[in-house]
């Protein structure tokens, strides 16, 4: 599998964080990559930096959003945006380096949640 820095995706993530008013997200600590050759069926995934690694490397929390070229690049711009929103919703309010699961108490990361945030972009 091959990874390349995805500056186009990083710019879109910065825009989304600002337009969706995700105050808990520091877009400068989110790095984006495009992967090629993955066998996964996902369109994108978010990678965390666990606390033990933060301590070992003496760095603050960071996240990586990986878009899987084989699937993500075939999506329409709208669907790509929804995919990126989905990944951003995995970042907890604490921006701790951990990730939120799809079902988190009464809050869920699902199509309905993504559509709610997507609607804010046009309103």
CATH code where residue 17 lies: 3.30.2010
Owner of token pair 């070229």: 69
Q: Which domain holds residue 78?
A: 2-122
Alpha carbons 122 and 105: distance in angstroms, whole number: 29
Structure tokens at 84: 């990126």
For 32-76, the pLDDT digits (tens) are 999 999 999 999 999 999 999 999 999 999 999 999 999 999 999
What domain count does the chain have? Answer: 1
For 77-97, the pLDDT digits (tens) are 999 999 999 999 999 999 999
> How much helix, strand and coil, in percent to the nearest 5, is found in the chain?
40, 20, 35
50 touches 97 (CB < 8 A)? yes
pLDDT band at 103 (very low <50, low <70, confident <90, very high): confident
Q: pTM above the 0.85 mark?
A: yes
């Amino acid at each position: 599998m091959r990874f390349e820095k995805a500056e186009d995706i990083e710019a879109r993530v910065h825009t989304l964080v600002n337009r969706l008013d995700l105050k808990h997200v520091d877009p400068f600590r989110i790095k984006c990559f495009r992967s090629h050759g993955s066998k996964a069926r996902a369109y994108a995934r978010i990678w965390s930096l666990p606390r033990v690694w933060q301590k070992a490397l003496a760095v603050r929390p960071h996240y990586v959003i990986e878009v899987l070229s084989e699937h993500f690049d075939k999506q329409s711009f709208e669907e790509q945006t929804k995919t990126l929103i989905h990944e951003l919703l995995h970042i907890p309010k604490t921006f701790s380096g951990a990730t939120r699961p799809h079902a988190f108490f009464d809050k869920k990361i699902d199509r309905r949640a993504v559509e709610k945030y997507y609607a804010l972009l046009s309103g």
